[in-house]
Amino acid sequence: MKKYEFTGETKQVGILGNITLKRIRATMEFGIAKIGDLGGWIEKEENLSHEGDAEVYGNAKVYGNAKVYGNAKVYGDAEVYGNAKVYGNAKVYGNAKVYGDAEVYGNAKVYGNAKVYGNAKVYGDAEVYGNAKVCGDAEVCGDAYSRILRLFGSSHTGLPERRNPGQDRRSNLYRQHAQGLSKKWL
């Protein structure tokens, strides 16, 4: 049985406004949804699994080839698009964006104005929030918290990689500070 249906209400998104999203409505109880509750916006049924308790609600948007499944929640004004995946018990909310080939899973949370994109992965009990950006092949995992740091490149430990870390005294201090935080967090 399908757990949601399209309401007929639509909205246009995308740089050119050429992507049509459709509002969903619960047809059965799951997660926090009750029968008849309005959900968020998806482009097609493949964006939100009918299995498990995965939810998209509020003004959240999921489109492109993005997928939300398992018990994952996407809500608020969050957006998940491209080939991104949000699954497990992960939560993406606030104004957060997950896109490209990024994945958020486990018990991870991405919120605030945070962005996770490229091939980045956020998982375990990690939290990415504030104005943080996690991109490239970076991974944030375990009990890590990323609030302001920009993680990019091929970092697995959560240490930010600078393109030229020795360029000035501030860069070296930044790296030392980040390493100290990483030891505390991981």
Using the CB atoms, write b or e for 18-40: b if 16+ within 10 Å.
eeebbbbbbbeebbebeeebebb
pLDDT at site 103: 98
Are 19 and 66 contacting, i.e. CB atoms less than 8 angstroms apart?
Answer: no
- Partners of residue 33 on adjacent β-strands: 30
Q: What is the mean pLDDT of residues 95-117?
A: 97
Average pLDDT of the chain, as a whole number: 82
- Residue 27 and residue 178: Cα distance in Å, rounded? 47
Three-state SS at 180: helix
Q: How confident is the model at residue 1 (pLDDT cuts 50, 70, 90)?
A: confident
Pairing of strands 19-26, 38-42: antiparallel
Percent of the chain past pLDDT 70, that is, above it, reads 77
Q: What is the mean pLDDT of residues 19-45?
A: 92
pLDDT at site 106: 96
Percent of the chain past pLDDT 90, that is, above it, reads 65
- Residue 164 and residue 27: Cα distance in Å, rounded? 54
What residues have CB less than 8 Å from 126, skipping those under 6 apart? 106, 108, 109, 140, 141, 142, 143, 144, 145, 146
- Residue 115 and residue 44: Cα distance in Å, rounded? 23
**Per-residue pLDDT tens over the stretch 146-181:** 554 555 444 443 444 433 333 333 333 334 444 443
Please provide the DSSP assignment of 118-162 as one string: TT-EE-TT-EE-TT-EE-TT-EE-TT-EESS-EE-SS-SSSPPPP
Write the single-letter amino acid at 113.
N
**Per-residue pLDDT tens over the stretch 105-114:** 999 999 999 9
**Per-residue pLDDT tens over the stretch 38-73:** 999 999 999 999 999 999 999 999 999 999 999 999
Kindly report the number of other CB atoms within 10 A of residue 155's CB atom: 19
DSSP 101: T
User: Comparing 175 with 82, which gets the higher pLDDT?
Assistant: 82
pLDDT of residue 132 exceeding 70, the answer is yes
Q: What is the pTM of this model?
A: 0.79
Run of H or E residues at 173: helix 169-185
Run of H or E residues at 19: strand 19-26
Three-state SS at 45: helix
